[in-house]
Every structure is written in structure tokens, then in C-alpha cells.
Amino acid sequence: MKYLVAMDSFKGNFTSYQAGSVVREGILEAAPDAEVKIVPIADGGEGTVEAIVTGLGGEYVEVPASDALGRPVTARFGVAGRVAVIEMAAASGLPLIPHALRDAKAATTYGTGELIRAALDRGCRDFIIGLGGSATTDGGHGMARALGVRFLDADGKELSNGGGALGALASIDLSGLDPRLQGCTFRIACDVDNPLCGEHGSAAIFGPQKGAAPEDVAILDQNLAHYAKILAETIGQDFANVPGAGAAGGLSMGLMAFCGGKLEQGIDLVLDSIHFDTLAQDADILISGEGATDYQTAYGKAPVGVCRRGAKYGKPGFIISGTLGRDYDAVYQSGVTSVVSTIVSAMTNDEAIAQSETLLRKAAVRLVRTIERTRCMISR
């Protein structure tokens, strides 16, 4: 039997590849003669660079950049030929900013623009951008500044970084935009459908987790609306209400407006990039997994994306999950054969985390024993 293992990361416990390696151990314990291939996957957030670089046989590049508060950091992105894979969180992510220092009005995507510029310098012309984990609500203003766009106030002075400054915007000067961008493609992994502004917009929905107080949310939303109006007048196209324009604090809108970016479902973008369908067709069984499975998993998360691809070719797809939450069985409508939890007895969250490797391996053993024994009985 050929097993294709394509696990998502277990946040705080395993990377995608580490989770896959533990599952591989469990498979071989239950079925020593099995063929097992591990493919790291992600849905556009954490692990996207690893998944695509591994799948395409690329390399990692580390460069100096700025974090969301303008402090120097070393950030990593992936390169495979002309393709650059960038997680915006590598430079502009919330985890890089201590909780006490988070400032939603000052946070900037300038560092993400620096990563794009560094990839351009290396000859990359096809970009895959993951938007998960942002600290920013600046509409991609900082990213565009790093690529040569000037944002000017009524006196012709350049605005400072951050969404809090956009209220003073009077004009946008595109004359310095890096000309290399005209020969590039940008595929944007986007798994939310929020518009830029309003009650479901980037400031209202995501601002509080980035340090925005209620009064900050109101200012940011107003500033983004003002910015979007001037941007639409400048480029002749309005992206503010495109579903997903509010992702990563509006960075997705900035990538569409300044880089010609196209929004795509994150897991499908990753699976297409690594030619996953070819791998699925060659396998007998697909196994994916994540830290927690619930009704949200059915809406385009990585494990469902994997199983859905397998189902196209009549291949059973299983999910191994750390925990099963509300309405987890909704995934059965999306090509998933069955879901297995790593937890089989009462324990605290701390206990589950401490034993996570053993629990994951044993879950794989249970699942594969069932598969193998059932197959043997049916074939008699």
C-alpha cells in the first residue's frame, strides 16, 4: 500500500514535516511493508514556504528586513527558480511584536515590500504570497512604499508608516514603482472574504487582536476608506469591496492594486504549486491532519483540501486531528473518509501537549491497523 502523508502544522507543537514524520512512524509500525511519502502542506499561513520549497526542490533565503514596527529583523523566504514564496508574517507578522508593544495604527507592511524587492533582485518574477499572521492594518501602504510608491499629504510630504497616517493622504505618486513588477505574477493565498472596510472589514474584525482599541478601530476604518478612495481615483480601479480585500489588514488590496495580484484559496494554491494531483493519483491512501478539526475545517482548510483532491481520483482520505470540535463531521461532505482524534482518554490540555508526539503516532497506528486489516478481510 502506498500512503501519501500531507499534514498541516500543529500550531505550537509540530511543523508540517515533523507531523508527517511522526505519522510515518505510526504507519510503518502498523504496516512495515507500506510505502510512505511525506509532503508538507499549508493553507497560505504558517508553513507555506516550507511546503512549496520542499515540493519544488527550492532553497531558503535569509535577508535583513523591518518588522511591523520598523525594527531590524532577519526574515526568510523561499526561492525555486523564478518563483519566490513569501509569508508576509516573516517580516510583518504579529508574533514578532511583544504584546505590550503592539500598535495597530503604527504597524507597517514595509518589511514585506523589502522581501519582495529582495526576491526581485534575485531574479524572481513569479510570486506566491501567504497572508496569515499579520500585525498590520495599513492596506499594503508600507509594502508599496518599499517598492517605490510615494504617499503624499496636502503639503507634498511623504506620510509616515502605518494605517494611522493614511487619514492625511492627499495623493499617490506611482512614478517610482519598481518597473520590474510589470513582468511579474502575484498569486495571493487568501482564505477570508472580508472587504477592506465596514463592520466586516479588516480593522473591525482583525484590528483588536493586533492591539487596536475601539477608538483605534474607528480611525483605521475611516483611514482605510479614505485611502481606498484616493487609490481608486489614482489607478482607475476600486478593489476595496473585492471579497478578501481586507485580508492581512488590507495587504491583499495593496497587492492587487500595485502588483496585479490575484486572490486564490490558500490550500488550492499550495497544492497546485507542488503538483499534488500527480502525487495523489499515485497513492492508495491519503492522510492529512491538523491540531483541531471542527466545522471551520470544511471551509477550505488544508486537510479538507488534501482529501478533496484525493476524492477526485477515488482515493480514501483520512484526517488525524489533535481534537475534534463542534460539528467536525461537516468535513464528511467534502471528500473526507474518516476523522481520527489523537485523544482517547480524559486529559488536560497541558498533558495532551506534553504527550503530543506519542498520541499522534498511536493515532496513526490505530488508523492504519484498521485500514490494513479491513483491506485483508475484503480481499479474501
Same domain flag for 298 and 330: yes
For every residue of 325-365, DSSP letters joined together read -TTGGGGGGGT--EEEES--S---HHHHHHTHHHHHHHHHH
Same domain flag for 33 and 162: no
Same domain flag for 346 and 217: no
Same domain flag for 236 and 291: no
Q: Which of the listed residues 249, 267, 285 is the one where a domain comes to its end?
A: 267
Q: How do residues 61-97 score in pLDDT, each as one tens digit?
A: 999 999 999 999 999 999 999 999 999 999 999 999 9
CATH number of the domain where residue 356 is located? 3.40.50.10350
Which structural domain range is residue 99 located in? 48-267
Same domain flag for 110 and 66: yes
Same domain flag for 289 and 219: no
Same domain flag for 91 and 23: no
Q: How do residues 188-212 score in pLDDT, each as one tens digit?
A: 998 888 999 999 999 999 999 999 9
Same domain flag for 8 and 102: no
Q: Which of the listed residues 236, 267, 298 is the one where a domain comes to its end?
A: 267
The answer to whether the beta carbons of residues 93 and 78 sit under 8 Å apart is no
User: What is residue 278's predicted lDDT score, i.e. its pLDDT?
Assistant: 96
Contacts of 60 by beta carbon, 8 Å cutoff, 6+ apart: 49, 53, 76, 77, 78, 79
C-alpha dist (Å) from residue 112 to 147, 152, 177:
10, 21, 15
**pTM of model > 0.85:** yes
The answer to whether the beta carbons of residues 41 and 271 sit under 8 Å apart is yes
Question: Vertex 26, ends 51 and 363: CA angle to 5°?
Answer: 95
The residue length of the chain stands at 380
300: left (phi over 0), alpha (psi -120 to 50) or beta: left
Q: Which of the listed residues 210, 234, 267 is the one where a domain comes to its end?
A: 267
Domain count of the fold of the chain: 2
Same domain flag for 279 and 201: no
The answer to whether the beta carbons of residues 367 and 320 sit under 8 Å apart is yes
Phi (first) and psi of residue 25, to 5 degrees: -60, -45
Q: Chain-centre distance of CA 183, in angstroms?
A: 24
Below-70 pLDDT ranges, the chain: 379-380
